[in-house]
């Protein structure tokens, strides 16, 4: 949260942090969201997940105005991503696409393999690669012979949550490897889902952890918020 506040301050965005006690009721949280939904000064609302057990993520997210849902978790925004008509993309996949574009990597026609099918990373990632004409395979914990799938990948995205899960023998020569993981190794040190030391010699390009996808996520949150502010302004202008 501190990084997000810092990014807002650096960009000159007005921001409010509401650090609520754990025992906050659903009614109290929904009332705050309603107030922010109706506040013209606020263009983006982000609820830090996971919520305490007595609060239902879905109910809370569904009550954020889709036009202020800068995390793009509301079903309306998820649906818009499916059909390729969207303002916001979940920040982590959006950051990955930005990295791909900035690196001059062409997605069209490439074999893209995404390991992980979560709603916040794997699924939207797969959709974005598909929109850019990649041939996309999504792998998960029930995938048989994962290595056979990953070794076909020109672009491999690892969003598994297991430290150093992807090893050099799972990667095709020259592949672009994107590591979404934010894990802890046996010494408690931050590491990714990719075993950098064994994969880096094989890969054509690879994102490090820390310093790769992570910082892009916050940048994309800021971008989504700016987009939301622009849309609100356009709406006001008619």
Q: Which residues bind ligand NAP (CB under 6 A)?
A: 92, 115-118, 120-122, 139-143, 146, 159-162, 180-183, 193, 213-214, 217
Please, which residue, 49 or 82, has the CB nearer to ligand NAP?
Answer: 49
State in angstroms the smallest separation of the CB of 229 from ligand NAP.
Answer: 22
Contact call for residues 157 and 113 (beta carbons, < 8 A): yes
- To the query of whether residue 185 is one of the catalytic residues in this protein, the response is no
Contact call for residues 113 and 137 (beta carbons, < 8 A): yes
State in angstroms the smallest separation of the CB of 13 from ligand NAP.
Answer: 19
Contact call for residues 167 and 199 (beta carbons, < 8 A): yes
Which of 6, 17, 39, 48 is flagged as catalytic?
A: 48
- To the query of whether residue 69 is one of the catalytic residues in this protein, the response is no
- To the query of whether residue 56 is one of the catalytic residues in this protein, the response is no
Please, which residue, 126 or 203, has the CB nearer to ligand NAP?
Answer: 126
State in angstroms the smallest separation of the CB of 27 from ligand NAP.
Answer: 28
Please, which residue, 69 or 193, has the CB nearer to ligand NAP?
Answer: 193
Q: Look up residue 195 and give its two tokens.
A: 């075993």
Please, which residue, 36 or 129, has the CB nearer to ligand NAP?
Answer: 129
Instruction: Supply the residues annotated as catalytic.
Output: 4, 48, 71
């Amino acid at each position: 949260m501190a990084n997000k506040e810092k990014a807002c301050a650096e960009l000159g965005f007005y921001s409010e942090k509401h650090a609520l006690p754990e025992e906050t009721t659903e009614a109290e949280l929904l009332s705050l969201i309603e107030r922010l939904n109706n506040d013209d000064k606020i263009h983006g609302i982000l609820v830090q997940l996971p919520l305490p057990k007595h609060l239902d993520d879905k109910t809370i997210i569904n009550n954020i105005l889709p036009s202020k849902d800068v995390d793009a978790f509301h079903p309306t925004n998820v649906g818009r991503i499916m059909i390729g008509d969207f303002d916001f993309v979940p920040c982590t996949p959006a950051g990955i696409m930005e990295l791909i574009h900035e690196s001059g990597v062409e997605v069209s026609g490439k074999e893209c393999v995404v390991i992980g099918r979560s709603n916040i990373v794997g699924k939207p990632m797969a959709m974005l690669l598909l929109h850019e004409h990649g041939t996309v395979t999504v792998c998960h914990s029930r995938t048989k012979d994962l290595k056979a799938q990953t070794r076909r990948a020109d672009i491999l995205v690892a969003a598994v949550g297991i430290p150093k899960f992807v090893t050099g023998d799972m990667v095709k020569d020259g592949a672009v490897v994107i590591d979404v993981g934010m894990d802890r190794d046996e010494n408690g040190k931050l590491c990714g889902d990719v075993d950098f030391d064994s994969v880096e010699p094989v890969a054509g390009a690879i994102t490090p952890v820390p310093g790769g996808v992570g910082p892009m996520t916050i940048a994309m949150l800021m971008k989504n918020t700016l987009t939301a502010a622009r849309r609100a302004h356009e709406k006001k202008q008619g």
